[in-house]
Copies of this chain bind each other. A is one copy, B any other.
Amino acid sequence: MAIAEVSIVPLGTGNVSVSEYVADAVHVLQKSGLKYQVTPMGTIIEGNLEDVLQVIKHMHETPFARGIQRVYTTIKLDDRRDRKVDMEEKVQSVQQKLKKHTSS
């Protein structure tokens, strides 16, 4: 299972807001059935590598369908194969270690 984060930024829109483009991309993601989480800086997706890359490609296409001529997409891919780790566990693991700091 891979966990990816994707940020899709349309260029040359004439408007600083990008949320409608992000919503388009997330709408495509929803239809994929993959587990995801929208954050203030991107969209996190969990699934097997092939499926995740496939849906990111479709998400990246969405601004072009609205007439945008240039899209700048950033992808981070965290692919761990020693054991299955899901999104929630990654955050929980950090928070558990953080408790030791704050209690010491």
Give 1 or 0 for each of A1-37: 1 = CB within 8 Å of chain B CB: 0011101010111111111101110110010000001
Copies of this protein in the assembly total 4
What is the chain B residue whose CB lies nearest that of A12? B16
A residues with a Cβ closer than 8 A to B are: 3-5, 7, 9, 11-20, 22-24, 26-27, 30, 37-42, 44, 46, 49-50, 53, 57, 60, 64, 69-82, 87-88, 90-91, 93-95, 97-98, 100-102
Asked if A16 and B22 make an inter-chain contact with CB atoms under 8 angstroms apart, the answer reads no
Contact residues of A: prevailing secondary structure: mixed
Contacts of A46 in B (CB 8 A): 40
CB contacts (< 8 Å) of A26 on chain B: these are 94, 98
